Amino acid sequence: MTMEQLRQKEMAELEHERELALMEQEMMERLKAEELLLQQQQLALQLELEMQEKERQRIQELQRAQEQLDKEMRMNMENLVKSEDTLHSEEATLDSGKTLAEISDRYGAPNLSRVEELDEPMFS
């Protein structure tokens, strides 16, 4: 009878140890799954940060290109204004002092003398 009790007690202990081993194995599997999930989250975060950095660099490059275009447009506009001013000043120097008859090649162009214009008071 005592042998039988010892055997049953030993079987119960073995069953208890087996249950503990199963629980420990399940715990290890959960820890591995959590670790894998954490690694995946870290990788996703790293990829997201890299994509944000690339996007930031692309935006900076676009801004630099836009600034360069703006600068070139301003320079072109300034050159255009300067060339127009030069053209107008050349025309003014060519035309100054000449009458319409001197400028025109047409027959019958009026030969009028130059008259200096005075500022007239403006009425509102």
* pLDDT per position as a tens digit, 23-75: 999 999 999 999 999 999 999 999 999 999 999 999 999 999 999 999 999 99
In order of 83, 84, 86, 88, 122, the CA distances from 74 in angstroms are: 14, 15, 18, 21, 37
pLDDT surpassing 70 at residue 5: yes
The model's pTM is 0.46
